[in-house]
Amino acid sequence: MNLYESLVKYSMDGYYPMHMPGHKRNTMWNHMVNPYGIDITEIEGFDNLHHAESILYEGMERAARLYGAGHTAYLINGSTVGLLAGISACTNKGDKVLVARNSHKAVYNAIYLNELKPVYIYPQKDGEFGINCGLNPSLIEDLLIKNQDAKLIIITSPTYEGIISDVSAISAIAHRYGVPLLVDEAHGAHFGFHKDFPRNAIKCGADIVIHSLHKTLPSFTQTALIHVNGTLVNYDNVKRYLSIYQSSSPSYLLMSSIEQCISLLETKGEELFDSYHKQLRSFYDKMNGLSKIKVLNPYQNTRFYGIDPSKITISVKGTDMTGVRLYERLLEQYKIQMELVSMDYVLGMTSICDTKEGFQRLEEALFAIDNEVTIVYEAKQDDTKPNDTKQNDIKPDDTKPDATQLDDITADFILPEIKLSSYEAIHRPFERILFSEGNGRISAEYVYLYPPGIPILVPGELINHRFIAQINEYKENGLSVQGTEDIEANYIKVVK
């Protein structure tokens, strides 16, 4: 079967999508004629994305009004291109930037392209679910005081798991120091349309905000938006980089999908988000009845700044089941395809296009699995597993982060020792060695789990025992370790 045949077969096989794209293959809210019939290029009357002055310009203005932004541009290569363009537009070669360590790889690629000097902002880790928390605004202020030459602050809110940072406080701090704030809100394009969902980062004062429409709203894969606000960022610069990084033949199918999505939000947004919110409420209420499996409940949140209810984080931490096993059970037995799997949890993505039946299927599956698992130890908020090798394997001088970065972090994050910039490390002569023999060598490659695509190791950083132990643990647990040229991730390129 070729790709097209496989896609058609899959669409009829009865799998329920607890993953992106946000249209959920639900044709109730998404109609389209045969796509070949409307696939055109920049012909008379259809404007030009890189020189927009009519139909596309008006569409982008409408999107800006809907989100409350000064300027909005369509992206047809996802938030990835928005991050590349936004970061390039705000920096000169070699500039210093404050950047959340849990950023998507596109942020690291932008750092590489402009040879930027990153000063990392570390989120705390939540022991109970094993996920990253939001960023601490006062930590960002401390870093700004120590790095007055920083040209941009780059953060991700919400995280993949839906954890929100206090963007209003962070943007107020950034602006006190005259530094623009870029928020990767790729997973939050649906924010701001209902009182029980978080406010969007534009309304919270961020200067650049990037939204993947395709992740959480009904719009085709690859569609996204970049919004620019205020006077700290030059929008012409952003547009210049967009015309460098985006195709000169942007797809009208993708752009019309963006327009349809914006129209739906304008005309039916309130109604759709209201019934979606009720559906989510009822789901989370039922999840309180689970006894061993834990679902992160955004409505009973006491320790995070905020949680997006659209993301469903299901943890088996402390039980005799692994995240991978839960993921497989949901897929094989219940035909539910989840978005992401990690060591101890799986993640589902929902949207206004989910059906009642979809939620019901997940509820029934989780209750049935909950009956079968056994508690092995109690997973606590500030805990890692007992006898956790990651903790025990550290040699005292294995990690020597910049002291400015050490404030207010938990011991569970692997702090890198940066030896070279990513640009230098990638362009130096290299050799390929076994991962297991990497201790003390400088990486020339990224290493990350995909999804979420957040680098665990960045080119230029020193490989240590703790890192090697973590990668082994991921691989033993069947997680997808990527980034290295060696597809099996047994070998890694290191600087010679």
- The structure tokens listed for 409 are 């972090």
Kindly state the smallest distance separating residue 231's Cβ from ligand PLP, in Å: 26
Residue in 128, 161, 166, 184 binding ligand PLP, rule: CB under 6 A? 184
d(CA 66, CA 72): 10
Q: Give the position of tokens 């995280």.
A: 159
Kindly state the smallest distance separating residue 229's Cβ from ligand PLP, in Å: 19
- Burial level of 99, CB count in 10 A (0-12/13-18/19+)? buried
Q: Which stretch binds ligand PLP (CB under 6 A): 36-44, 165-173, 182-190, 325-333?
A: 182-190
* Interaction residues for ligand PLP, span 288-347 (CB under 6 A): none
Kindly state the smallest distance separating residue 127's Cβ from ligand PLP, in Å: 22
Residue in 123, 162, 438, 452 binding ligand PLP, rule: CB under 6 A? 452
Residue in 186, 265, 293, 481 binding ligand PLP, rule: CB under 6 A? 186
Residue in 30, 124, 165, 212 binding ligand PLP, rule: CB under 6 A? 212
Kindly state the smallest distance separating residue 157's Cβ from ligand PLP, in Å: 9
CB 311 within 8 A of CB 349: yes
The verdict on 22 binding ligand PLP (CB under 6 A) reads no
Q: Which stretch binds ligand PLP (CB under 6 A): 50-58, 73-81, 90-98, 330-338?
A: 73-81
Binding pattern for the stretch 213-232 against ligand PLP, x by CB under 6 A and - elsewhere: -----------x--------
Kindly state the smallest distance separating residue 265's Cβ from ligand PLP, in Å: 18
The verdict on 106 binding ligand PLP (CB under 6 A) reads yes
Q: Which stretch binds ligand PLP (CB under 6 A): 143-151, 179-187, 292-300, 332-340?
A: 179-187
The verdict on 104 binding ligand PLP (CB under 6 A) reads yes
CB 201 within 8 A of CB 86: no
d(CA 472, CA 470): 5
Q: Which stretch binds ligand PLP (CB under 6 A): 62-70, 72-80, 91-99, 397-405?
A: 72-80
First to last CA, the chain: 44
Of 103 and 114, CB closest to ligand PLP: 103
Residue in 112, 120, 160, 241 binding ligand PLP, rule: CB under 6 A? 160
The verdict on 80 binding ligand PLP (CB under 6 A) reads yes
Angle between helices 137-146 and 167-176 (to 10 degrees): 20
Kindly state the smallest distance separating residue 426's Cβ from ligand PLP, in Å: 21
Q: Which stretch binds ligand PLP (CB under 6 A): 8-16, 78-86, 260-268, 385-393?
A: 78-86
- The structure tokens listed for 176 are 């006190």
Calculate the alpha carbon distances from 12 to 18, 139, 331, 337, 478 in Å: 16, 50, 15, 14, 28
* CB contact set of 305 (below 8 Å; sequence gap of 6+): 134, 163, 164, 165, 166
Calculate the alpha carbon distances from 311 to 199, 284, 346 in Å: 16, 11, 10
Kind of pairing between the strands at 340-341 and 454-457: unpaired
Per-residue DSSP letters for 395-456?
-TTS----GGG-TT--TTS----B-S-HHHHHHS-EEEEEGGG-TTPBBSS-EEETTTTEEE
Kindly state the smallest distance separating residue 83's Cβ from ligand PLP, in Å: 6
Of 20 and 293, CB closest to ligand PLP: 20
How many residues touch ligand PLP under the rule CB under 6 A: the total is: 14
d(CA 202, CA 273): 19
Residue nearest ligand PLP, Cβ-based:
78
- The structure tokens listed for 8 are 């058609």
d(CA 425, CA 418): 10
d(CA 453, CA 290): 30
Of 156 and 256, CB closest to ligand PLP: 156
Q: Which stretch binds ligand PLP (CB under 6 A): 181-189, 230-238, 404-412, 434-442?
A: 181-189
Q: Which stretch binds ligand PLP (CB under 6 A): 5-13, 74-82, 84-92, 316-324?
A: 74-82
Chain contacts with ligand PLP (rule: CB under 6 A) = 78-80, 104, 106, 156, 160, 184, 186-187, 212, 224, 452-453
